[in-house]
Amino acid sequence: MKKNVYSILKGKFLVSDDSFKNWRMILFISILALIMIASSHSADKKVHEIARLNNEVKELRSIMVEGRKKLMGLKMQSSVVKKMELKGIETSLIPPKKIKVKSQSK
């Protein structure tokens, strides 16, 4: 048992007569390890991209809500009346009337 451990530590399995199949297995495992590392890097990159895009969506949503709030404030009748008074336009005391147009048929 002790002799087998020493032969593995010294690397005799890499230089012996039937070492070709050992080298093939080592090469195969190395290639699989490289593929696994590349795949994990790609997955990490995608996770970071998703997190960045989620932050951007949250930021744009908050900008949209803020803009909608400002628009609702500007559309309120009281704010429109104030802005028109600054320009010298006052609200009418006479309510508007509907104009009905009768079509003339020949």
pLDDT tens across 3-35, in order? Answer: 777 777 777 767 777 777 778 888 999 999 999
- Domain ranges across the chain: 2-86
| Residue 52, CB-side half-sphere exposure with 13 Å CA sphere | 6
Direct distance between the N- and C-terminal alpha carbons of the chain, in angstroms, rounded to an integer = 117
Do residues 91 and 83 make contact, with C-beta atoms less than 8 angstroms apart?
no
Find out whether 15 and 21 touch, Cβ atoms under 8 Å. no
Structural tokens at position 8: 């593995």
Per-residue model confidence as pLDDT tens digits over 50-93:
999 999 999 999 999 999 999 999 889 888 888 888 888 888 88
The pLDDT of residue 38: 97
Q: What is the model's pTM?
A: 0.56
Residue 87: CA atoms inside 13 Å, Cβ hemisphere, count? 8
